Structure 1
């Protein structure tokens, strides 16, 4: 198989998952909001990058993953979609020290510090996200969100760096460990608790079975992402953090063989998640809460798959991606 012959819909077509494929009734306004943020606040990006982000229509990812949010609830979720995607995209040329500074600063703002007037939209918007979530959700949930943000940045974005720098992937086993965090799904996953209004108490959330379900869910999205983002990453030529590339290197597979194995691993991951949920029904009075969490996670999985099939973000050749420009990162990100 030649790279140009690859199409992710051949593996993950629309409606692939056993949950409804929905969209928020507020999607149009969410799009207007995001375009306004990009034009008026994300001015540290170049005009070309801003146009790319607008064409990605990232608000549709929010609208499809969490379709039952009220408009008020959707605002911080939609704002975070843009903030975290842009942050992840634009740290490509940042050093480990710069990444650490960004992580510490974002976390400090989430915990209450105020951004300085000269700090860019990544910091101004994380403060708005904090305040909006605090107005909507209990303290236990806000702390959960901050913890997952920190985890994903510290053990996802930052741990990828040496392998990207060396342009060589880690072993499959280590890759799977890091990819669970570098897909950045954990802070997004708990948005389902906003939709349902059922916030899990810590003793349920930290239960080993529930945490294992979250691990399976997160990795399912990781392998889904690797399948859909492959055309963009093949174009880059130096990307190593994709399951297809890891499998090719470790087992000397062709592109077609590695894609088939990636799809198998994806299905195995999802089956593990669904099996745990169906077999372990010992959450007592909180079983309904867990079931609702799983339902909204499933809707999110279905929704992000549809988004991948519609967005320009992962076009062949990388034409739809807002590639980081080194001068912008060095001058303006910190």
Structure 2
């Protein structure tokens, strides 16, 4: 198979997963607000990049991830997805040393600090969605959300930077560990709490089955992302964090064989997730709420795949908002 003949939909078609395919009814209203954020707040980005972000329609991704959230609860979730995706994109070529003060400052703001007037929209919007979430979520939820975000910063964005900086393809074992964080999904699962208005009690939050279900969901979405983003990543030598590319290098596989192995890994994770979902432990009075919580994570998985196929230009070669600088400039 030649790269130009690869079509992600041949591997992950619409409605591939067993969960409902839904969308939030407030999607268009919030989409207009997101365009305003891009135009009026993210002004440190060039006009070209701002145009790309508007065409990427990130609000559709979040609307498919939290389809039953009220408008008030959906707004900070949408503010967060634009913040996170844009931050991750624009740090593509940052070294660990360059990213460290930025990421630590953002965590400090989420823990209560106020942004300075001259700090850009990343810092301003972090404070905004922090306060918006705290209007209806408890402090313990924000602590969990912030810790998940911090782990993705430290063990994802920063851990993959040395590989990207040197265009070094990691070994498969290294990749599998780092990718669980660099796909940046851990904090997004806490948006389920926002949607369903239920914060897991500590004994459920820390239960190994719940932790395993989250890990499997992260992996599924990572492999999903690797398949859908492969066309644009084959065009840039710094894009070495893709399971298909790693498998090709590790085992000297053709593109087609690496895709087959990627789908085998993906489908095995989906099957394990479903087995655990259908055989949850007894959580007593919280049983139905936990079942609804895990189903909502499944809806997220389905919704993100639909977003790739139906809504966005983000993952086509000319649609991605590559930074207009590199770490040496």
Same fold (TM over 0.5): yes
Quick check: 1:189 aligned with 2:192? Answer: no
Q: CA RMSD in A?
A: 1.3
Question: After superposition, what is the alpha-carbon deviation per residue over 1:285-307, rounded to whole angstroms, capped at 9, x for unaligned?
Answer: 22222211111101111111000
Q: Structure 2: how far apart are the matches of 1:94 and 1:164?
A: 9
Q: Structure 2: how far apart are the matches of 1:187 and 1:130?
A: 13
Quick check: 1:112 aligned with 2:109? Answer: no
Quick check: 1:313 aligned with 2:314? Answer: yes
Question: After superposition, what is the alpha-carbon deviation per residue over 1:212-269, rounded to whole angstroms, capped at 9, x for unaligned?
Answer: 1110111110001101110110122331000000000000000011011111111111
Change (3 A) 1:202 1:104: same
* 1:163 counterpart residue number: 163
* 1:81 counterpart residue number: 81
Task: Give the 3-state SS of the residue equivalent to 2:135 in structure 1.
Answer: helix
TM score, norm. by length of structure 1: 0.96
Aligned partners of 2:166 and 2:238 also within 8 Å: no
* 2:66 counterpart residue number: 66
Range with greater deviation from structure 2 (194-203 or 7-16) = 194-203
* 1:43 counterpart residue number: 43
TM score, norm. by length of structure 2: 0.97
* 2:21 counterpart residue number: 21
Q: Structure 1: how far apart are the matches of 2:248 and 2:233?
A: 14
Task: Count the aligned residue pairs.
Answer: 328
Task: Quote how far apart the aligned CAs of 1:330 are.
Answer: 8.4
Task: Give the 3-state SS of the residue equivalent to 1:136 in structure 2.
Answer: coil
Quick check: 1:199 aligned with 2:199? Answer: yes
Aligned partners of 1:160 and 1:241 also within 8 Å: yes
Runs of 4+ in 1 over 4 A off after TM superposition: none
Range with greater deviation from structure 2 (168-177 or 69-78) = 168-177
Task: Quote how far apart the aligned CAs of 1:283 are.
Answer: 2.2
Which ranges in structure 1 are unaligned for 5 or more consecutive residues? none
Quick check: 1:284 aligned with 2:284? Answer: yes
Task: Give the 3-state SS of the residue equivalent to 2:253 in structure 1.
Answer: coil
Aligned partners of 1:199 and 1:289 also within 8 Å: no
> Where in structure 2 are the equivalents of 1:187-266 lying within 5 Å?
187-266=187-266
Change (3 A) 1:126 1:27: same
Q: Structure 2: how far apart are the matches of 1:202 and 1:289?
A: 14
